[in-house]
Amino acid sequence: MPIEPLHEVEPMRGLPELLPDDEDILWQGRPAWWSLARRAFHVGLVAAYFAGLLLYQFVAEPAAEVAGWTGFVAPVVLGVAAVGMLSLLAWLITVTTVFTITNRRVVMQFGVALPLNLNLPFTQISSVAHKSFGDGTGDLALGLEGDDRVAYALLWPYARPWRVRKPQPMLRSIPQSSRVAEVLAEALAQAEPAEQAPRDDSRGLNPAAVSG
Please check whether residue 130 is in contact with residue 140, taking contact to mean a CB–CB distance below 8 angstroms. Answer: yes
Which of these, 200, 143, 208, lies nearest to 182 by C-alpha position? Answer: 208
Determine the pLDDT at residue 195: 54
- pLDDT, position 192: 57
Average pLDDT, consecutive stretches of 10 residues, N- to C-terminus, the chain (212 residues): 50 81 93 96 94 78 56 80 96 95 95 86 93 94 85 92 92 96 94 51 38 46
Q: Where exactly are the structural domains of the chain? A: 3-7+25-31+101-211, 36-93
What pLDDT, on a 0 to 100 scale, did the predictor assign at position 58? 72
Tell me the whole-structure pTM to 2 decimals: 0.79
Confidence (pLDDT) at 31: 97
Q: Report pLDDT for 43.
A: 96
Based on the number of CB atoms within 10 Å of its own CB, is 100 exposed (0-12), middle (13-18) or buried (19 or more)?
buried
Asked if 107 and 120 touch (Cβ cutoff 8 Å), the reply is yes
Q: Which residues contact 187 (CB under 8 A, 6 or more apart)?
A: 26, 101, 102, 103, 122
Query: Strands, DSSP E only, in the chain?
Result: 3-5, 25-29, 98-102, 105-110, 116-121, 125-132, 137-144, 170-175, 210-211
- Count how many Cα atoms sit within 13 Å of the Cα of residue 3 in the half-sphere of its side chain: 16
Question: Options 3.40.720, 3.50.70, 1.20.1250, 2.30.29; which CATH number does 3-7+25-31+101-211 get?
Answer: 2.30.29
Contacts of 205 (CB under 8 A, 6+ apart): 126, 127, 199
- Residue 197 makes CB contacts below 8 A (sequence gap 6+) with none
What is the model's pLDDT at position 5?
46
